Amino acid sequence: MKQQRSIAGRLALILSLSVSALWLISVVIAAVVLRGELNAAFDETMRQSALRLLPLAMHELDEVLEGDADDSEANFIANLTRDDANLDYFILDRSNRVLLFSGARPTDISSGSIPLGFSEWSGSRAYALTDAESGFGIVVSERAGLRDNILIESILRMFLPLAVLIPILAGLVFVIVKAAMAPILGLSAAIARRHGRNLAPMDMGAQPKELQPIVSEVEDLLVRLKSALDAERSFAAESAHELRTPIAGALAQIQVLQSKVDRADTVQHLEQAEEALRHLSHLSENLLQFSRLEAGFASSEKETSLGVVIDIVLREKPFADAADRILIAGSENTSLKAFITADAFAIVLRNLLQNALTYAPSGTPLKLVVEDREIRITNECDTLPTELLTTVTNRYVRGQTEHRGTGLGLSIVAAILRDCEGQLELYSPIPGQQLGFEARVAFTRSQQHIPMKEGTS
C-alpha cells in the first residue's frame, strides 16, 4: 500500500519550493539589473581612464621621441602593465599607427578599424578617444569576458545562501507545522483508538477553536453509537438467553412425547421437530456468544493456562461421546498459555471440534495437537475449494455437508482471536497430505506487548 504523506511534510515541501521559486525570480531580476549597472560602471571607468591617460601618454611619448627620433617601433608601457590588469591601452598617431601600448601588442589595428566611442573590438569592449589638437588617439580595451565572469560570480554568490537556507527552512517549517498540528494528531490518535469495543469518551480537554466543533460532533456521535450498540447487544443477549429456556422445555416435551408414541410416522415427525429445536438452540447459543464477544469479554490482561480448559471441553457430552475418535498429541511438558479468557478459549475449542465432527466422515479420527503457543485440529475430508477456504470464516458460510449448522462457528472463532491478537489459519488439504482439513490457532501476543488502556500514559 502506498504510504501517505503527512500534512507537515507536504507544507514543508510546498513552502520550500515556493521560497526557492521566489528567490530564483529575485535572482533573475537582480541579475538583469546588475548587468545593466555593471555595463554602465565599466563603460564610465573606460571613458574616465581614456580621458586621464591620453595626456599622460602623450607626455611620455614626447620624451620617447626626443630620446630616439628615428625609432619607428611602438614602445611598451611597462608601468601600466600587470598580469591581472583588466584594461589595455594603445596610443595611436594620426594614421592609426601604434606608438605606445600596454599588455599584448595589437596586430589588427588599421586605419578606421576602431570608431570613436564605445565599440566591440576583437571580442572585447573598447573605447576610442582622439585629441583634436594633436591628432593622437587612445584606445582602451577591456579584457575579454570580464563582465560576464563578474556577473556569473555575483549570481553564484546569490545562489549560495539559497542552497544553505532552503534545507534549514524546510526543517524549520516541518518542526513548526508539526508542533502546530499536535492537537490534530492527538485528535486523530484518539479517534483511531475507538472501535466497536471502545466507544469511551475521548476527554480531549481544551482544543483550538477550529477543532472544537469536530471534537464535539465526534463525542456526540460516539455517545449515540454506543447507545445504539448497547441496545443491539442487550437485545441480542436477552433474546438468546430468553430463548434458551423455552427451547429446552420444548425439547423435553418432544422427548417425553416420543416415549409415549408408537406410530412410526409420528415418531419421525417428532424426531424432525426435535432436530429443528436443537438447531434453534444451537443458533441461539451462537447469537449469545456473538453478543458477549461484542462486549469485549475474550481478551485477558494476563496469561491464562488453557490445559484445564481443554480437559473440561473434552468432557462435554458431544465430545465425550466421540472420545474414541479424538486423538490428542503434543510435545512433552507442553504448557499452553495465552492472553485469552478461559470462557473465550472454550468457545474457540468447542466450535473447532464441533466443526471437525460435523465435516469428518463418520468413524474417522480427529487429531488435536497442543503446543506451547498454538493448537491444531485436523480431520479427514475432501479438499475444500480455495474460494470456500478464504470465505468460510464469514458469517453464514458453510461447507458441503448433510448435517445442519448455523454457519457461525468459524466466524465466532475468527472474531475471538482477532480480539486476542491471535491468528486462525485454515489449510485444505492438510500440509504434507493430499486430503483433509486443518484449523490452526496461534497465539502471537507476548508478555512484552500489552495494549495500553484508554486514559493511561
pLDDT tens per residue across span 52-107: 888 877 776 666 555 554 444 555 554 444 555 678 778 877 777 777 777 665 65
The Cα 345–Cα 313 span in angstroms is 10
At 240-299, the pLDDT tens digits run 666 666 767 777 777 776 677 766 667 676 677 766 776 676 666 666 666 666 556 677
* Whether the predicted pLDDT of 211 surpasses 90: no
Going along the chain from its start, the domains and CATH numbers come out as 7-152 (3.30.450), 194-296 (1.10.287), 298-457 (3.30.565.10)
Question: Minimal CA–CA distance to 61: which of 31, 91, 81, 40?
Answer: 91
pLDDT (average), residues 226-252: 68
Confidence (pTM): 0.47
* Whether the predicted pLDDT of 453 surpasses 90: no
Which of the four pLDDT bands, split at 50, 70 and 90, describes residue 111? very low
pLDDT (average), residues 377-382: 92
* Whether the predicted pLDDT of 367 surpasses 90: yes
pLDDT (average), residues 428-452: 78
Which of the four pLDDT bands, split at 50, 70 and 90, describes residue 209? confident
C-beta separation of 223 from 251 below 8 A = no
pLDDT for 385 equals: 87
Which of the four pLDDT bands, split at 50, 70 and 90, describes residue 2? low
pLDDT (average), residues 43-50: 87
* Owner of C-alpha cell 465526534: 218
The Cα 54–Cα 188 span in angstroms is 81
User: Which of helix, strand or coil describes residue 438?
Assistant: strand
Q: Which triple of cell numbers denotes residue 18?
A: 515556493
- Mean pLDDT, the chain, as a whole number? 77
pLDDT for 150 equals: 86
C-beta separation of 359 from 384 below 8 A = no
The Cα 114–Cα 213 span in angstroms is 81
pLDDT for 205 equals: 76
* Portion of the chain with pLDDT greater than 90, in percent: 9
Collect all residues with Cβ–Cβ distance below 8 Å to 115 and sequence separation of at least 6.
128
Higher pLDDT, 100 or 391: 391
pLDDT for 202 equals: 79
